[in-house]
Amino acid sequence: MDVSHILVTNSRQPDRSEKDDSVQLDPGLLAVTDLNTIDEESYNTDLEAHLLSLAQTGVQSLLGSLFSLPTTSSPDGPLAQLPPPIYQLPRAKPLPKPKAKTKWELFAAAKGIQKKTREKRVWDEEKQDWVNRWGRGGKNKEVEDQWITEVPMNADVDHDPRKAARDARKERVAKNDKQHLQNIARSQESSGPSSTREGRKQEINKTVAAARISTASMGKFDKQLEGEKKPRGVKRKFDPAEAPAEQEKQSSLALLSRMESDSKKMRKDPQADEKVLNVRKAVRFASKGKGGVALGRDVSGKKGKARTGRGKR
Amino acid sequence: MLRTIKPKNARVKRALDARLPKEIEDPRTAVFVKGTHTGEVLNGVMKDLMALKRPDAISFNKKNDVHPFDASSTSTASLEFWAGKNDASLFLVGQTTKKRPHGLTFVRMFDCRVLDMIEVGVEKYIPMADFKTPKSTPGHKPLMHFASELFDTHPRFIQLKSMLIDFFNGEEIESICLPGIGHVISISLAPTPASLNTATEFTTDATTVTSLPKVHLRTYTIKFLSSGTRIPRAELVPMGPSLDLVLRRHQPADAILLKEAMKRPKLKKTDVEKGLGKKRKNMEVDAMGDLRGQIHVGKQDLGKLQTRKMKGLKAKAGDDIASDEDGEDDEDGFMPRKKQRQS
C-alpha cells in the first residue's frame, strides 16, 4: 500500500520536468516565467489557492536552478554565483563616453611615444636625499631658494635672479593651466556648433553684435571706434520668381523627402489611441447606433434573424 | 534641464561622479508621487509597494498636479526634472478620478527622459498589515514569478513584465546569499480570453482594454523545508499586499530611445575576466590571454629561516664547542656518506 503511494508521488515529478520547456528560468534576474495557459476551472473555483499553487511550482523550479549554481562560502551562508541575466532590460542612463584625449596624448599616439610615469621625488646630489620634484621644498624652486646665485656679466642693475627664476616657474605653470583649459574646451567643442573655425567666427560676431546694443541707449550714444561699421541686420533673400523647371522639381522633391524621412521624427508610429480611424465611432455610425454585434448579424444574413426577440424589449 | 554644477569640493565631486553613467548600473531608484487625488486605497497601495521597493525608494509627501498621459500638460517636463534632481529613473504616480478610479502609472526613464509608461487600475487591494504573517526584510532581493503565456506573446504584457522586473528586481548582481532569499512577488493573469487566443489580424488590432485579462499581484514569504536533497522544498506564506489590477492606458517605448537604452557595454575579454567592469585588484590578463595574479606576501623573517642543519651551529651547552670533528662523525650516521661524496 505504501509502495503504491510512493509510486504515485514519484510519478508526478517527471510531469513537472516535462513542463520545463514552457518555463523560462532566469536565475540572473531571480525571475521565472511560467508560460502554461491558466487553468480556467481552478481559477474560478478558488482563486487564492490557484495563485498560491502556481507560485509554489514556479518558485520551486527557480530554487532548483538557484541551489544548483556554484557557490562560495561567506560568513552569512553560501553565496550562489549568478549567471548573467537572459532577459534584457533597458538601461537607466546611456553608456559612459570614453574620456577625450588631450593634445599631447594624440601627438604621442601618432608618434608612438610610450607613456612614462614621472616620479614625484628626485634625488638631490647636494643634500644626498630624495626631495620633492614640486611642492614644499621642491626641486623646481632650487634657484629661488639658494642663498647665493651667479649673476651674468651683462645683467641689468636691478636684476633680481630670484625673481627671474620665480617668474619663469610661474609662467610654466600658467602655460600648463592654459593648455589644460584648451584641452577641456576641445573635448567639449568636438560635438558643439563652434567646432570649426568658421563656426567660432560666427559665434564671436554674434556676441559682438549683441554687446553693441546692450547699453542703456541701445548703442546709440556709444563711442565709435575707428573703422567700426554700422551693425547690419539680416537681409532677406528670395529665390527668383522664375526658376528652371528642373530646379523647381528638385527643391520640391527635397522638401517631400524631408517630410517623409523618419530621422527628424520623435515618435515613429502613432499610438493606438491616436489612430486616424476611430473604430468605435465608425462602428456606431455604420450600425446606426446598434453596435458591432448587430452590424455583424446584418452583414452575415439579412433574413430577419437578427430581429428575433427585439420587439419584446 | 538642470544647470550644470561645478564641484567646489571633493565631497560634491564624489557625489556628482556617483551620478554619472556607469557601465554596470546601480539599482533604479523609484519615486512615489501622489497625483491631485489619491484615495485611501491608493495611499495604502503606494505605501505597501514602497515597503517592497525600499531602500531604493523616495516618497513625495505633497500632492502634485501630474497627468503623465496628458500630452498637453507639463507633466513630462516635471517627471524629467524630478528624475534629474533625485537621480531616479522610475516613477509610480497614483491618481484617482471618476473616469479612471484608483489608477497607478508606472513611468520608466532613460537618460532623464520618459521611456515608457503603463497605467493600471487597482480593483482589489488587501494591505500588508491585514496579513498577520512575518514580512520580508527590506533590502533583500525578491524572486519574481510570472504565470501566463501572454507574458511571452502579447506586447502589453511583455511591457508589464519588463516594467515590473525593472521596478522590483532590475539590478544585475554577481552573487546572492541563498539563505537570504526570503520572498517572492508573483504576477499571474486571469485565463486568456478567446479573443486573444485566435491570432488573427483583426483580433490583435482591436484588443480593447476590456478584453485584456486581469493581473493578480501576490507576495509570499518563502520558508525553506528540508527535502532530503540539496534543493530545499519551498513553502509559501501570503505576506501582502495582494493586488488585482487591470491594464489601462500605456505608452510604448520610442523606438530610437529604446534602441539607445538597450545598448550593452562592449566588454573586452580581459574585462570580463577582470570582473565585468568592476575593479578587481592584482589580477590581469596578459598578451597571451592568460590570467595572471599578483600575490603580496608579508616580509619574511630571515632569522627564523631553516638552513642546513649542522651541529656546529647549534646553540648548546659549552661542551659542544670543545668537542672535535672526529667525535661528531661517529655520532651522526649521515656524515660519513657526505664525506665520501666530497672525496
Nearest-angstrom CA–CA distance, B248 and B208: 10
B142 in contact with chain A, both atoms CB, cutoff 8 A: yes
Which of A37, A68, A88 shows the shortest C-beta gap to B231? A68
Q: How much is the pLDDT for B204?
A: 45
- Residues A140/A134, Cβ–Cβ less than 8 Å: yes
Answer yes or no: is B101 within a domain.
yes
Note the maximum CA span of chain A: 128
In a domain, residue B104? The reply is yes
Q: A228: which DSSP letter?
A: P
Decide if B311 is inside a domain.
Answer: no
Most A CBs within 10 Å: which of B80, B143, B257, as the mutation test of the A interface? Answer: B143
Do residues B221 and B133 lie in contact, with contact meaning Cβ atoms separated by under 8 Å?
yes
**Does A276 reach chain B within 8 Å, measured CB to CB?**
no
Amino acid at B271: D
Query: Is residue B305 included in any domain, yes or no?
Result: no
**What one-character DSSP code corresponds to residue A133?**
S
CA A191/CA A188 separation, integer angstroms: 6
Task: Give the pLDDT of residue B203.
Answer: 44
DSSP B109-162: EETTEEEEEEEEEEEEEE-GGGS-S--PPTTPPPEEEEE-THHHH-HHHHHHHH
What would the mean pLDDT of B52-60 be, rounded to a whole number? 92
Select the more confidently predicted residue: A260 or A283.
A283
Mean pLDDT value of segment A253-277: 69
d(CA A60, CA A64): 6
In a domain, B5, yes or no: no
> According to the model, what pLDDT value does residue B268 have?
59
Three-state DSSP state, B167: helix
Q: What are residue A81's phi and psi, to 5 degrees?
A: -85, 115
**Average per-residue pLDDT in chain A?**
82
| Residue B273 domain flag | no
Q: Which residue has the higher pLDDT, B53 or A262?
A: B53
- The answer to whether B216 and B176 are in contact (CB under 8 A) is no
What SS3 state is found at A52? Answer: helix
Let me know the angle formed at the C-alpha of B332 by B330 and B334, rounded to the nearest 5 degrees: 115
Average pLDDT over residues B21-33: 91
Higher pLDDT, A193 or A293: A293
Distance between CA atoms of B16 and B113, rounded to whole angstroms?
19
- Predicted local confidence at residue B333, as pLDDT: 43
Residue B335 contacts A where some CB pair is shorter than 8 Å: no
Is the Cβ of A291 closer than 8 Å to some Cβ of chain B? no
pLDDT of residue B206: 43
pLDDT of residue A313: 47
> What is the span of the domain harbouring residue B235?
22-265
A residues 95-134 lying closer than 8 A (beta carbon) to B:
95-97
pLDDT at A194: 61
Percent of chain B with pLDDT over 90: 51
User: What residues of chain B lie within 8 A of the CB of A85, using their CB?
Assistant: 172
Q: What is the Rg, in whole angstroms, of the alpha carbon atoms belonging to chain B?
A: 33
Instruction: Give the integer Cα–Cα distance in Å for B31 and B83.
Output: 8
- The residues near A248 (Cβ < 8 Å, ≥ 6 apart) are none
Residue among A30, A38, A268 minimizing CB distance to B191:
A38
Q: How far is A291 from chain B (nearest CA, A)?
A: 15
| Residue pLDDT, tens place only, A32-60 | 999 888 888 888 889 999 999 999 999 99
- Give the containing element (helix H, strand E) for A143: helix A142-145
Residue B143: the pLDDT is 93
The residue in chain B having the minimum alpha-carbon distance to the alpha carbon of residue A85 is: B172
> pLDDT above 90 covers what percent of chain A?
34
Which pLDDT belongs to residue A299?
A: 77
Query: How much helix, strand and coil, in percent to the nearest 5, is found in chain B?
Result: 30, 25, 40
- Per the structure, how many domains does chain B have? 1
Q: Is the pLDDT of residue A5 over 80?
A: no
10 Å CB burial of residue B162 (0-12, 13-18, 19+) is buried
Cβ distance of B169 and A266 shorter than 8 Å: no
Q: Which residue has cell 533597458?
A: A90
C-alpha distance from residue B332 to each of A289, B306, B308 (Å):
120, 19, 15
Q: Which three cell numbers stand for residue B42?
A: 491608493
Taking CB atoms and an 8 Å limit, are B175 and A72 in contact across chains? yes
Predicted local distance difference test score (pLDDT) of residue A19: 47
- The more confidently predicted of residues A267 and A300 is A300
Q: Which long-range contacts (CB under 8 A, 24 or more apart) does B2-11 make?
A: B2/B81, B2/B84, B2/B85
Tell me if B248 is assigned to some domain: yes
Tens of pLDDT, residue by residue over B71-110, are 877 889 999 999 999 999 999 999 999 999 999 999 999 9
User: pLDDT tens, A13-26?
Assistant: 444 444 457 888 99
From A177's Cα to the closest Cα of chain B, the distance in A is 17
**φ and ψ at A155, to 5 degrees?**
-75, 155
* Residues in A 64-93 with any Cβ partner in B closer than 8 A: 64, 66-68, 71-72, 74, 76-82, 84-85, 87-93
- The DSSP code for B262 is T
Residue B304 placed within a domain: no
- The chain-wide mean pLDDT, for chain B, equals 83
Residue A252 exposed, middle or buried by CB count within 10 Å (0-12, 13-18, 19+): exposed
Q: How far apart are CA B22 and CA B315, in angstroms?
A: 64
Are the beta carbons of B89 and A36 separated by less than 8 Å?
no
Question: Which of B246, B141, B263 is closest to A31 using CA atoms?
Answer: B141
Here the cell at position B333 is 650516521
d(C-alpha B285, C-alpha B269), whole Å = 9
Chain B hits for A38, Cβ within 8 Å: 147-148, 188-192
Q: Give the least confident one: B62-71, B140-149, B155-164, B283-292.
A: B283-292
Q: Give me the CATH number covering residue B229.
A: 3.40.50.10480
On chain A, the residues whose CB falls within 8 A of the CB of B255 are 268
- Could you tell me if B245 and B252 are in contact, meaning their C-beta atoms sit under 8 angstroms apart? no
Residue A259 pLDDT exceeds 90: no
Phi and psi of A134, rounded to 5°?
-140, 175
Which grid coordinates are listed for B199?
Answer: 491570432
